[in-house]
Amino acid sequence: MAVVYRSWKALTQNAILTRSVSNSLRLYSQKPPAPVVPLVNVEVDDKSGVAVVTLNRPPVNSLNTPLLTELGAAIKNLEDNKSRGMILTSSSDTVFSAGLDILEMYNTPKDQLSAFWTTLQSTWLSLYRSSFPTVAAINGHSPAGGCLLALSCEYRVMVGPKFSIGLNETQLGIVAPPWFVICMRDVIGHRQTELALTTGRLFSAPEALKIGLIDSMVSNKAEAMAEAQKFITQFAKIPPLARKLTKESVRGEGIRYMEDNMIDDLQIFMDLVTQPKIQKGLEMYLATLKKK
């Protein structure tokens, strides 16, 4: 028995030695690890105290769980530091955000699907009810979830005329959840929302301006940033608590909807999105995007 033990021990030690030599060799031959690039950049202007939060997930800033988690953490951080305001924009020249990452909803294990949706819910709520002023500087296309992010800010300035924005969910065979609808309705009104959502219409920037989906159209990102700053500056003289409580009151329906229905909303999402018919629709939509 002792012999067996000794030889087993020798064998394992030998294996450990071999492993550590080969690990070192592998380390020498490996490239240095790629730097971890944040999916959301936050830069706070020293003078104005305004934070520029830039979505940075090339190529199209599709919203997956890690990006939504980082965005939620960034908003919490600004909240904790009593931020003066936030401008949400994109590092891409052509896309603000392509909306929810369809790969998070297609063929996804249930626990991941559930984590994805709850992250979206909580990040959305923290943006929608943030105590500080928020502006979306929409410097590219902004369909579906991208439009939701923009709608959740208090002011939208968009680079035009060539980019588009809207809630196009029905075109994908899915349904914009009630809180998406509330956001849209509060900005463009009931009638326009019904028309826009049932057809899944994407609006060009001039069309969006006409129906009030955006507040302003500019010709480049620099102009968008300047106008966003200007919007936030007007709150310098408004007492922050009065501002925050007023915003919560105006946005009460959306806030209460989410607080009271988080679990039901998750259940409806899971039931709907896991249906074979919806999965087939997402598969076909992904294929058309890839074929372009």
Ligand X SMILES: CC/C=C\C/C=C\C/C=C\C/C=C/C(=O)SCCNC(=O)CCNC(=O)[C@H](O)C(C)(C)COP(=O)(O)OP(=O)(O)OC[C@H]1O[C@@H](n2cnc3c(N)ncnc32)[C@H](O)[C@@H]1OP(=O)(O)O
Residues of the shown chain interacting with ligand X in the complex, contacts defined by CB under 6 A: 59-60, 62, 94-95, 98-103, 141, 143-145, 168-169, 172, 174-177, 268-269, 272-273, 289-290, 292
Q: Is 140 a catalytic residue?
A: no
Q: Minimum distance between the CB of residue 74 and ligand X, rounded to whole angstroms?
A: 20
Nearest residue to the partner ligand X, using Cβ: 99
Tokens representing 218 are 């500019």
Q: Which is nearer to ligand X, 115 or 272 (CB)?
A: 272
Is 168 tagged catalytic?
Answer: yes
CB 269, min distance to ligand X, A: 4
Task: Dig out the tokens for 202 from the structure.
Answer: 């994407």
Using the minimum distance from each CB to ligand X, give the nearer residue, 52 or 120: 120
CB of 85 to ligand X, least distance (A): 26
Which CB atom, from 145 or from 160, has the smaller least distance to ligand X? 145
- Smallest distance from ligand X to CB 191, Å: 21
Nearer to ligand X, 110 or 290 (CB): 290
| Annotation marks residue 100 as catalytic | yes
Name the active-site residue from 99, 145, 146, 160.
Answer: 145
- Catalytically active residues, by annotation: 100, 145, 168-169
